[in-house]
Amino acid sequence: MIINRFKAVIFDLDDTLFDHRHSVRTALSAMQKKYDCFRQISLDEFERLHIKLLNEIHVERILTGELTLDEGRAMRFEQAFKILKVNPTPEMKYEAADYYRKNYLQSTRLKPGAYELLEEVKKTYKTGIVTNNLVEEQNRKLAECGIENLIDIMVTSEEAGVTKPNPEIFNIVLDKLNCSSGEAVMIGDAWEADIIGAHNLGMKCIWINTYEEIRETNGIAVEIATMEDKERILSLINE
């Protein structure tokens, strides 16, 4: 009889379990309807600009504690306005940030197939989340999406004091799950943060390619297009 060596499955949250991209695109579409300048570019271009600004400000300014979420969001849209040749007032940038946030929150959902996969994984394995975000923000997503009872442990970069791909944050979640890196499978969408970070510790990795990136995986991870491919993902975990 072959005994599976894995004890735990660790997930990223945003764009792996939680459909962050859906919420973002819904909110950005609403922004285009409200502000003329954002209609100068397509939704896809607006999304790419937003991702660039989000990555810069969220990682470098918010997760370091330099800015609050509200301040970072306002700065993000201030820069977006300026790139599109609009000089916003302080009131305007905060109004835009609040409008984006309202529409983002109204479109909360899991990635298609995520709940069903979690239910199956939870029957056999310990489950964890490791995420580059703030505790309150990520707890809200778990609660609103109804998956709190399916997750044993969540570690955020805010509480860890480091962000993925730093090995320390992965080691914290492994310790909490009481398993070694060789006994855990990592499932995530961010190649550098999730996959390379986990691979460097010796974890088996499944890459959910949310943004349809073209890259050579070189045996580092198995690429999956969607969380709806439950049987394929379960077979990779169980093999």
pLDDT tens column, 84-101: 999 999 999 999 999 999
Mean pLDDT of 88-115: 96
Q: Which of 86, 105, 124 is the last residue of a domain?
A: 105
Mean pLDDT of 124-148: 96
Are 90 and 164 part of one and the same domain?
no
Query: Distance between CA 224 and CA 15 in Å, rounded?
Result: 13
Mean pLDDT of the chain: 95
**Amino acid in the structure at residue 81:** F
Distance of CA 125 to the CA centre of its chain: 21
Whether residue 2 is predicted with pLDDT greater than 50 in this model: the reply is no
Phi, psi of 63 (to 5 degrees): -65, -20
- Whether 3 is covered by a domain: the verdict is no
pLDDT attached to residue 134 = 92
For residue 233, give the nearest of 215, 213, 209 by alpha carbon.
209
Are 115 and 193 part of one and the same domain?
yes
Are 149 and 222 part of one and the same domain?
yes
- Looking at the 3D structure of the chain, how many domains does it have? 2
Query: Distance between CA 112 and CA 228 in Å, rounded?
Result: 6
Q: Which of 105, 120, 144 is the last residue of a domain?
A: 105
Burial of 122-155, coded b for 16+ CB within 10 Å and e otherwise, reads: beebbbbbbbbbbeeebeebbeebebeebbebbb
Task: Mention every residue, 6+ apart, whose C-beta is less than 8 A from residue 105.
Answer: 23
Are 47 and 118 part of one and the same domain?
no
Q: State the pLDDT confidence band at 59, using cuts at 50, 70 and 90.
A: confident
Query: Distance between CA 162 and CA 156 in Å, rounded?
Result: 9
Whether residue 105 is predicted with pLDDT greater than 60 in this model: the reply is yes
Whether residue 21 is predicted with pLDDT greater than 50 in this model: the reply is yes
Query: Distance between CA 69 and CA 226 in Å, rounded?
Result: 29
Query: Distance between CA 147 and CA 169 in Å, rounded?
Result: 22
Are 202 and 117 part of one and the same domain?
yes
Are 46 and 74 part of one and the same domain?
yes
**Amino acid in the structure at residue 203:** M
- Whether 183 is covered by a domain: the verdict is yes
Whether residue 3 is predicted with pLDDT greater than 70 in this model: the reply is no
Burial of 45-60, coded b for 16+ CB within 10 Å and e otherwise, reads: ebbebbeebbeebbee
Quick: pLDDT tens for 190-234.
999 999 999 999 999 999 998 889 999 999 999 999 999 999 999
Whether residue 78 is predicted with pLDDT greater than 70 in this model: the reply is yes
Q: State the pLDDT confidence band at 58, using cuts at 50, 70 and 90.
A: confident
Q: Which of 72, 105, 138 is the last residue of a domain?
A: 105
pLDDT attached to residue 166 = 97
Tokens in use for 131? 């995420």
- Whether 138 is covered by a domain: the verdict is yes
Query: What CATH number corresponds to the domain at position 161?
Result: 3.40.50.1000
Q: State the pLDDT confidence band at 1, using cuts at 50, 70 and 90.
A: very low
Are 99 and 115 part of one and the same domain?
no
Are 63 and 172 part of one and the same domain?
no
Query: Distance between CA 51 and CA 68 in Å, rounded?
Result: 18
Mean pLDDT of 150-161: 96
Are 50 and 160 part of one and the same domain?
no
Query: Distance between CA 6 and CA 104 in Å, rounded?
Result: 36
Quick: pLDDT tens for 34-47.
999 999 999 999 99
Are 91 and 121 part of one and the same domain?
no
Whether residue 15 is predicted with pLDDT greater than 50 in this model: the reply is yes
Q: State the pLDDT confidence band at 138, using cuts at 50, 70 and 90.
A: very high
- Whether 227 is covered by a domain: the verdict is yes
Are 165 and 88 part of one and the same domain?
no
Whether residue 130 is predicted with pLDDT greater than 50 in this model: the reply is yes
Residue 224's domain comprises 8-19+109-238
Are 131 and 185 part of one and the same domain?
yes
